[in-house]
Chain A
Amino acid sequence: MNIKDKKPFVVLVVSIVLFLSIVMPAYAVSPWMAKQSYGGKTWGKFCFGIKNSLLGWMTPWAEAKNPRYQVQWIGYSAGIGEGVVYMAGGVIHLATFFIPVDFPDMGYGLPIPDPERVKNPPKPYAPYSKKQKHFFIF
């Protein structure tokens, strides 16, 4: 293949990178960025990529239950757009898992498990939260 044949492709890639670097001023950190070691980050990025690329299509159903939207159909529609982006982003994360750079900035990604529940886990079911009584005194 001649280098001249590759020129449009190189120009396209450089243009996309430049465009994204301009339009992406804000940054939402992916959960795997919290890991400290190289191994932890790459494994986290790999799992994040697998989860989003394979399960991204479930986003509409997850978003339909999001209390942020007044009607379930608005959440479902928002999930359609997010699902497309998460699946594409997940493939990029999966393909570049060995480079621990958070690109693209998908934030939490697919909201399964629910990020609010991860932050504030529900209290355990009341009967199990009670102190276990010993059957025998000793």
Chain B
Amino acid sequence: MKLRKVFSSLNWAQALALFVLFSVEAGPAYAGSFESSDWIHESTYLGKISQKLGFGFLNITAGWTALFFEPARDQNFFVGIGKGIVYTFTNTAGGILHAATFPIPFDIPLPHGGIAYEYKR
């Protein structure tokens, strides 16, 4: 009941719209950190939406691993922890957004293109 109230409230919808707008607008402005997702390279509509759903699932289930990957990178340990916390949140939230909007093939850029970045070492 409580969850239903949260989902139906206007404030939640406004926050979601603002986040999506921010992500879409911030992508080109911070091209160095917010990169386009891998699934946009698919050629067909079904290829895009299936990969987008999979990308969302990947970031929901594995987004938290940034918390451990980032401190292990070649950087200051505490900076790594801070980045890990931020990326954990952005990857998981981004994954939820990707999965929720998978039938519409527009990209929501995530920092470094999502959690797949952590594996490309």
Contact = CB atoms under 8 A, between A and B. Distances in A.
11 contacts: A23-B45, A24-B44, A28-B44, A28-B46, A70-B119, A74-B116, A74-B119, A77-B54, A78-B50, A80-B54, A80-B57
Nearest to B105: A23
B54 A81 contact: yes
Interface in B27-81: 43-47, 49-58, 61-62
A74 B120 contact: no
Nearest to B60: A77
A26 B43 contact: yes
Interface of B: 43-47, 49-58, 61-62, 102, 105, 116, 119-120
Interface string A14-34: 000000100110111000000
B96 to A, nearest CB: 14
Q: At the interface, is chain A mostly helix, strand, loop or mixed?
A: helix
Interface string A71-108: 10110011111101110010000000000000011110
